[in-house]
Structure 1
């Protein structure tokens, strides 16, 4: 995970988009969906001003979404964080359940990779021997 250097300087939405890999549109979506750990501060002109904490939180959210965490679970996690101390067991349960899903996905992908590796070997062997013609030919 990319870490941000602590800064007291507020960050623009463009700065945060660059640091998190999220588009400006996605950042606005995250805010509307209640996925941030706290409210985004605004300038007197209404422009969003983010903190280093916001960036760190968003980087975590990105990884949770990339790993397949459902939006509803991410919303629940954000809500628990916003509520503050006292619900750590609920947060742990939510994250552990997601970790178990990710572990299952990894096992499934490893099985897929094993089949693909086997199939690559079959084709490579046949090609090396010059016997690839008609391999898995549905018309034969």
Structure 2
């Protein structure tokens, strides 16, 4: 598959795919004799992995290190595993912070809902009183 096809498949730009390769987010892509990138099934899986991990909030630096260690082979299995564990822990902490923020927002919204209900009740009561005087 050429770069334009892969870009369309993942809704990325060709510049993004070149960047992924240049900075080491994905291993070097094989090229045809003409120099055109020829993405294979493994390349596609790498791109899917990188997109998934980036969408989950993993840092680019961690993913570059992971890819570098992957290229080193089985001798780096434990190091790769540790990167994933560290990033998972970081995401759990971030999720807890987000959950706490959501709780605070829920409380604020409830306060507003209570005040809105009070205001609506007050306005309805005022409207009824005004209608009685007409």
Q: TM-score, normalised by structure 1?
A: 0.78
Q: How many residue pairs get matched?
A: 120
Q: CA deviation at 1:68?
A: 2.8
Gaps of 5+ in 2: 121-134
| Per-residue Cα deviation, 1:49-99 (whole angstroms, up to 9, x for no partner) | 101211111111122223332222111100111112222111110100000
Residue 68 (structure 2) aligns with:
79
Q: Which structure is larger by alpha-carbon Rg, 1 or 2?
A: 2
Query: How far did residue 129 of structure 1 move?
Result: 1.7
Q: Where in structure 2 are the equivalents of 1:1-140 lying within 5 Å?
A: 11-37=1-27, 39-130=28-119
Q: Give 5+ residue unaligned stretches, structure 1.
A: 1-10, 132-140
CA RMSD of aligned residues (A): 1.5
1:7 counterpart residue number? none
Moved over 6 A (4+): none
Q: Distance in 2 between matches of 1:19 and 1:96?
A: 30
Paired with 1:23 and 1:125, the residues of 2 have a C-alpha distance of 48
Higher relative contact order (CA 8 A, sep 6+): 1
